[in-house]
Amino acid sequence: MMIKILCCGNRYVCDDGLGCYIYQMLSMQKLSGDVSLFDIGLGGLSILDYFAGDDKVIIVDSVKLGKKPGLVYRLRRNDLCSNFGRMISLHDLSLMEVIEIGEILYPQKMPSEIIFFGIEVKTIDQYGTDLSPEVKQSVPVLLEQIIKEAGNIFL
């Protein structure tokens, strides 16, 4: 099974840099040949370019739903719409909108499974490269869940 891990975010806007932070942590490890890791910046429609040819895609990004900062989310494709509506991304298009566009325009290229992981943000209205203490404290839990989801990703 081929798996891609797509890390989204803006490393210069505090907690929005979560995906970049996770990318850095995972890129320091030797990954198995079945796993590809990408830092895709702010995402948007360009995410669709990363979907082709894989069984599973794991997307990592910051979330702002007004819940307690540091809350870790694991959502499947159907959860993105049914439980959280349109506001799942801090970027131009919501993740759900991008997935729906991909399903309409490129159904044959869409992965069979899309899993979203994120952490509820605290600070996204300031420039800076540090995660808030609440988000940083939840990073080990998030990493553990990503590794569990992806299976044996390390060599």
Q: Does pLDDT of 141 surpass 90? A: yes
| Distance from C-alpha of 19 to C-alpha of 13, rounded to nearest angstrom | 12
| Distance from C-alpha of 122 to C-alpha of 62, rounded to nearest angstrom | 10
Whether 10 and 42 have beta carbons less than 8 Å apart is answered as: yes
Whether 84 and 75 have beta carbons less than 8 Å apart is answered as: yes
b/e code 54-91 from CB counts within 10 Å (16+ = b): bebbbbbbbbbeeeebbbbbebebeebbeebeeebbbb
pLDDT per residue as tens digits for the range 41-99:
877 788 888 887 778 999 999 988 889 999 999 998 777 655 454 444 444 677 778 88
Domains annotated for the chain, with CATH where assigned, are 3-150 (3.40.50.1450)
| Distance from C-alpha of 155 to C-alpha of 105, rounded to nearest angstrom | 36
| Distance from C-alpha of 3 to C-alpha of 22, rounded to nearest angstrom | 16
Structure tokens at 97: 């909108």
Instruction: Please give the helix or strand (H or E) that residue 24 lies within, else none.
Output: helix 18-27
| Distance from C-alpha of 19 to C-alpha of 95, rounded to nearest angstrom | 14
pLDDT per residue as tens digits for the range 3-51:
999 999 898 999 999 999 999 999 998 888 888 999 998 777 888 888 8
pLDDT of residue 146: 94
pLDDT per residue as tens digits for the range 98-122:
888 888 988 888 998 999 999 999 9
pLDDT of residue 27: 92
